[in-house]
Every structure is written in structure tokens, then in C-alpha cells.
Chains A and B, each alone.
Chain A
Amino acid sequence: MSELSITLLRFGFLILLWALVLSAIGVLRADLYGTRVTSRGRGREKRKPDNRANKVAAPSRSATGIRTGSISTSADAVGHLAVVSGPLKGTTIPLGTAPILVGRSPTCTLVIDDDYCSAKHCRIFPEGQGWRIEDLGSTNGTFLDNQRVGDPMPFKRGDQVRLGATTLELRS
């Protein structure tokens, strides 16, 4: 091979190397910059119908829950738990048949990083037709409409619960 073609190949190699680097960056461009919190709610909204269909069709998933009572039509009206204030504002959790544990411990379903929250703060679980909320002996308390929660209380759609700096709302 001539001197010229070797030089071309030499630079060709560098170009190829950079082509790899730049196309890799191109592939990850989509999630290079932060995250979109706002698009989240809409995404869930759209997916919800088949979500519920899955749950009815596959009862084996409910084995994760303690109370595996069937979810009836009125419970269907309750779709997800939304965080309306606090460090996790904007987060939603779809409600299935499993109870939801809220607290600071990494084993909880909803992990809240808040100094005023206990490790296992409260539990939201399905019962009969609807959902109930109970406090798990938290230090600073769980408040449902400014009333401290102790034993399980009914938690209806639109109700807001406050724990530490976080407010949770049950939404359809």
C-alpha cells in the first residue's frame, strides 16, 4: 500500500473511533439531561386500563399482598396514590391489591427521605370495597384531614394525608 493510503487509514481509524464515541452519545442523548417529572402522570393515565385488566386476569400477583380480598368495582374508582407535596412531589403509585408501606426505610413501597418521617411510618391497604390507612407507631404522626390517625381509618378518594412534609392524596 502507498504512503497516502496508510495515512488515510491512520486518520480513518481515529475518525472511526470518534464515530463510535459520538454515536454512543447520540444513543444516550435522550436521557442525558435530567428527567421529566411532569410527563409522568399522563403516561400512567394512558396505561391504566390495561394495567387493571392485567390485575384481574392474573390473580397470582396479588399473592404479594397480605389482604388479598377481591377488588370490586368501587375500588376500581381508586386508581393511584399521588404525592402532592414534599420531597417526592409528583410521584404516583398505582394501587393494586397489595398494601403500600410508606416510610424512610428502603424496604418501603414509597420511600420518603424526610427527617420527620419514621422508618415505617404508615400503611395503606385495601379492605372490602375501599382503602384504609393506619399509622405504624410513627414518632410525628400521620394526619388525615388534621386528625391524627391511629387505628385503621377509611381512606377515600380525594382524601389527603399528611406525614412530615409530605402530603399524599388518593386519586382515581
Chain B
Amino acid sequence: MATVADLNVRAGRRSELALLGLAWMVIVLARALVDYNAAFLELVPLAIYGAVWAAMMIAAHVVLDKVAPSADPVLLPAVFALNGVGIAEIRRIDHAEGTAFADAQMIWAALGVTAMIAVVLLLRDHRKLRRFTYTAGVVGLVLYLLPLVPGLGITVNGARIWISVFGYTAQPGEFAKIALVVFFAGYLVTNRDTLALAGPKFLGMRFPRPRDMGPLLLVWAAAMLIMVYERDLGASLLFFGIFLGMLYVATQRLSWVLTGMGLFFIGGSFAALTIPHVRARFDAWLHALDPEVYSSGTSEQLVRGLFGMASGGLFGTGLGEGRPDLVPYAESDFIIASLGEELGLTGLMAILTLYLIIVQRAFRTSIGVRDGFGKLLSSGLGFAIAIQVFIVVGGVTRVIPLTGLTAPFLAYGGSSLLANWIVIALLLRVSDMARRPSEEVA
């Protein structure tokens, strides 16, 4: 791992406030446009909406100023903007379909911000998490496998990734990814030497010894288990992708990544050939525009999403003026397609750049922070967001098979929103340590 000189970066709390102001304007204007185009614009609810967002932003900003003064200044504005644009688009689909997802999502956003503040307040040093390495590993696996428990897990659209307790549903996999990043970081920081140094040389790369392959095979087996029994290609790919990314960061060995990708490819093709649900997803991906596949309904959602984005063109139809509601699950799985239709390529690129900024900050933090655990933790969280965005956007735009993951911060879904706000809390905490002037650390 590289060690880096001091950066005399400014804490940037004031820039954060200015950027939050811009994000607030984006959020309020988005809702005003959506409501106006649905002939629904009332000033008092809009003012209350704006005040609630401003209160959340100021609360988050003040807390960071007090307990994490050196934390990264662009993470919060980027995340707030994504969350607000997502809620505006969900509200727009609510207007078309008479649902009330946006109000629910707003409550989840408030809970998410509260959770973020709570984590930043309670966890003063991310290195404490290292003590819970193996606990986190067990918790992560249990959470991932929870939907398989009979009576607890429920199957939605063929994938078994939900649990239902007393009528409340949740996607435990979203929280599992945080626990697993903590586990991988703690595990790899202690064991990276054996994984990095030994092994035969082949094709100019040092390959791992067969006996060191244990953890990789174990994680691979768990990912395959998720794919086969939960029928969820996305969660499985995310889980395995995070591990491979962190393994690469820890060992600097490309051979691990190649070995892992080869293994996943073998498992994925096997699943695609044998499991009907996964096979249908692959069919819908490869032959989406085939009349036979389309009329059987398997690729209908995907193709409608593509047509929606096409009709959006370069600048979009404008918020509230397209027909994103023609796509099933336009507020959750296909929110990227909905936004692509109404904001066009220009708007979608801005949204993807916001994700890029978040991921870049995670990796930058990982370079700057001094302890190995923190490096792996923040790069792992960065990989989690990056891979999830890739899987979602890639699925919607037909780069990879469509899966049931949600776009972080944008899509409707409480578990996802809450979990991702916690991810941001951890990133803020590590970045505070990474950017703090050196006197305090040394």
C-alpha cells in the first residue's frame, strides 16, 4: 500500500455549506417542476418540503462541523442531491399512478440522515470496527442468507431477497454488504502478506498458491449459493465484486482478480444454463428485441425502459413531462430509465458524475488514511457503491443482464436508502481521519 505525504487540504466545511445550498436548490426545483407539470403545485407544502430538507442538511452539516471537522466536504452535497432528485422522480411516478411512495421515501431519507448522524456521533474512530472483524463476517453472512429461512423470506418477482417481519419488509442484503466490507477489511489487513507474496509465476503474473485459495473459494461458494438459492444475480455479483476489489487493493495482484473473475464467469454461465429464472434474465438480455422474447413478457420492462430513455434524447422531456410510468417498477428498479427519459442524457450524466464523485472520494480517502484497515474499509465501501451503480445502470442499459438491485440513494426502497446513508457515515468518518492535520495523528 502506498503511503502518501501530508496534504494541507482545507477542511472545506464552508465549501460544503455552499454546495449543500446548491443541492437544496436542485431538490426544491425538481419537486416544483414535478408538481407544476402534474397541475399539483401548492406553495405551502413545497415550502415545508424545502424546510425539511434544509433542516436535515443543516443538522448534518453542524454535526460534522463539531465531531468530524476534517471530513470530506463533497460527499454530503452529492448524496443529498441524489436522494432529493430520486424522491422528486418517485413523486412524479406517484402522480401518474396514484401511489404514495415518495412520502414513504421521504421518511426513509429522514431516518437515513438520522442514522448517518448517529453513526458519525457514536463511532469516533473507525479502527474500533476492526475488533468486530469476525462478528461482522458472521452477521453479514447471516443477513445475506436470512431470506432463505422458511417463513421469514418472501419471494418477489422470482428473487428471494426480501424478509417479512410483522408485515414490515426489508432487504437484509443491503445491510449485509456493510458488515461484509468490515469483515473483508479486517481479514485482509491481517492476511494480505500470505495472499500477496507466495505462488508460482505464469504469464508474467504471480498466481496464488492453491492452498491460499481457501478464502476466495469460500466467498465464491457463498456468492454462488446466493445466486442459486436466492436467484439474485445482482447481490451475488455485488458481494463477489466487493471481495475481489478489496483483495486487489490488499495484495496488488491482478492474478487474484483474473482468477476470481474466471471463477465467477464459470459459476454464472453454469447458473445461466441450469436455473430457469437466471436463464430467463440472460435471454431477456441477449435477445431483448426479439419479438418472441418480448411478447413472452420477459424483456418487456427492459425494452420499455430503453424506449423511454431513447425518447428522452439529449436533454430529456423535462421533469413530469415524459411517460416513465409505462415501465413496470419505474420508481425502484428502473428509476435510472425514468430519469434518463425526463432529464435526458445530460441529466443522467450529471447523476452518474455525482456517483463518480462519491466513489472517487472513497478511493481518495483510502489513499490518504494511514492505517491499513481504514484503507481497505473505505476502498471497499467505494467498490460497494461503484459496483452497485454499475450493476443497476448496466442492467437498465443492457450492458449486463438485468438484476434486482436498486440504484443507491435514487431508487425507492427503505433498506437500500438507510444502508447507503450508513455507508456514507463510515466514509465521512474515515475521511475525517485521513484529512486531519498530522499533528493530531502523529
Residues of A within 8 A of B (CB): 1, 6-7, 9-14, 16-21, 23-25, 27-28, 30-32, 35-40, 43-44, 47, 51, 54, 87-88, 90-91, 93-94, 96, 104, 106, 111, 113, 115
- Contact: B5 with A90, CB < 8 Å? yes
- For the complex, is B123 an interface residue (Cβ under 8 Å from A)? no
Is B9 within 8 A of A30, CB to CB? yes
A31 x B9 contact (CB < 8 A): yes
On chain A, the residues within 8 Å of B442 by CB distance are 93-94, 96
Q: Other CB < 8 Å A-B pairs besides A16-B25, A31-B9, A39-B6, 11 of them?
A: A6-B318, A10-B315, A13-B26, A17-B350, A21-B357, A27-B74, A28-B361, A35-B5, A35-B367, A39-B5, A51-B439
A14 & B347 in contact (Cβ 8 Å cutoff): yes
Do A21 and B350 touch (CB < 8 A)?
Answer: yes
Interface size on B, residues (CB 8 A): 57
Q: Which residue of the partner chain, among B321, B357, B367, contacts A28 with CB atoms under 8 Å?
A: B357
Partner of B350, one of A14, A40, A111, A113: A14
**27 A–B contacts, CB within 8 A, in A order:** A6-B36, A6-B318, A10-B315, A10-B316, A10-B318, A13-B30, A13-B33, A14-B315, A14-B316, A14-B343, A17-B347, A17-B351, A20-B77, A21-B350, A21-B354, A21-B357, A24-B19, A24-B74, A24-B77, A25-B357, A27-B15, A31-B7, A35-B367, A43-B6, A96-B442, A111-B1, A113-B1
Chain B positions within 8 Å of A20 at CB level: 19, 22-23, 26, 77, 81, 350, 354
Bound CA–CA A25/B360 (angstroms) = 10
Minimum CB–CB distance for B57 against chain A, Å: 13
B73 contacts chain A at the CB level, 8 A cutoff: yes
Chain A neighbourhood of B316, CB < 8 A: 10, 14
Q: Is the interface of B mostly helix, strand, loop or mixed?
A: helix
Interface string of B1-33 (1 = CB under 8 A from A): 101111111101001001100110110011001
A111-B189 contact in complex given A19-B22, A20-B22, A106-B371, C-beta closer than 8 Å = no
Q: List chain A residues, Cβ under 8 A from B4.
A: 35, 37
CB distance from B441 to the nearest CB of A (A): 11
User: Does any Cβ of A come within 8 Å of B319's Cβ?
Assistant: yes
B29 touches A12 (CB 8 A): yes
Complex CA–CA separation, A113 to B252 (angstroms): 12
| B304 interfacial by beta-carbon distance below 8 Å | no
Residue B268 interfacial (CB < 8 Å): no
B193 contacts partner chain A, Cβ-Cβ < 8 Å: yes
Interface contact A54-B350, CB-CB below 8 Å: no
Interface of A is mostly: helix
Contacts of A39 in B (CB 8 A): 5-6, 8
Assuming the contacts A10-B318, A10-B319, A104-B193, asked whether A18 and B5 have C-beta atoms less than 8 A apart, the reply is no
A1 closest partner in B (C-beta): B36
Chain B residues with CB under 8 A of A47: 439
Question: For window 77-105 of chain B, which residues contact chain A by CB distance below 8 Å?
Answer: 77-78, 81, 85
In the bound complex, do residue B372 and residue A106 qualify as a contact, i.e. CB atoms below 8 Å apart? yes
Residue of A nearest to B37 (CB): A6
Shortest Cβ-Cβ A-B pairs, 9 listed: A10-B318, A106-B372, A40-B5, A17-B350, A37-B5, A24-B74, A27-B15, A20-B22, A35-B4
Which chain A positions have C-beta within 8 A of B19? 20, 23-24, 27
What's the nearest-Cβ distance from chain B to residue A94, in Å? Answer: 5
Residue of B nearest to A19 (CB): B22
Chain B residues near A113: list those with CB within 8 A: 1
Q: Answer yes or no: B285 CB below 8 A from chain A CBs.
A: no
A14, B315: Cα distance in complex, Å: 8
Q: Are A31 and B364 in contact (CB under 8 A)?
A: yes
With A10-B318, A14-B343, A111-B372 in contact, do A43 and B439 touch (Cβ < 8 Å)?
no
Distance in angstroms between the alpha carbons of A106 and B193 in the assembled complex: 11
Is B135 among interface residues, defined by CB-CB distance under 8 A?
Answer: no
Shortest C-beta distance, A23 to chain B (Å), equals 6
- B319 pairs with A35, CB closer than 8 A: no
For A91, the chain B residues whose CB sits under 8 A away are 3, 5
Contact B346 A111 (CB under 8 A): no
Is B164 positioned at the interface, with any CB of A under 8 Å from its CB? no
B67, CB-defined interface residue at 8 Å: no
Closest chain-A Cβ to B165's Cβ sits at a distance in Å of 38
Chain A residue nearest in CB terms to B85:
A17
> Residue B353 at the A interface, CB < 8 A?
yes
Q: Is the CB of B3 within 8 A of A88?
A: yes
B 372-414 binary contact with A (CB < 8 Å = 1; else 0): 1100000000000000000000000000000000000000000
Closest to B9 in A: A31
Q: Please give, as numbers and ranges, the residues of chain A lying within 8 Å of B364 by CB-CB distance.
A: 28, 31
The smallest beta-carbon distance between A28 and chain B, in angstroms, is 6
Give the distance to chain A from B36, nearest Cβ to Cβ, in Å. 7
B59 contacts the other chain (CB 8 A): no
The contact of B439 among A12, A54, A88, A104, by CB within 8 Å, is A54
